[in-house]
Amino acid sequence: MKRSRTLLDKRRDFVMNYLNTNQAKQMKVVVAELSDSLFLTERTIYTIINEGLSTDARA
């Protein structure tokens, strides 16, 4: 099933905002919390983070 682009954008924004607000925590803890709350695999979370960071670096 193909996901809507707006849903993917909202999910990426949520992950990046969550990451920014929880910078004091270790990355592994933050990824585990996101995985539990969004029902995504840790690998997917890391992919979203890497894509978000590369997008932020370009902007």
* pLDDT: which is higher, 59 or 10: 10
> How far is 3 from 10, CA to CA, in rounded Å?
12
Which pLDDT value is given to residue 27?
A: 92
Banded pLDDT at 54 (limits 50, 70, 90): confident
pLDDT digits (tens, 9 = 90+) for 3-35: 799 999 999 999 999 999 999 999 999 999 999
| Gyration radius from the chain CA atoms | 11
DSSP string across 23-59: TTS-HHHHHHHHHHHHT--HHHHHHHHHHHHHHHHH-
> How far is 58 from 31, CA to CA, in rounded Å?
23
- What is the phi/psi pair of residue 24, to 5°? -70, -25
Which pLDDT value is given to residue 15?
A: 94
Q: Is a pLDDT exceeding 70 seen at residue 58? A: no
Which pLDDT value is given to residue 52?
A: 85
> How far is 46 from 41, CA to CA, in rounded Å?
9
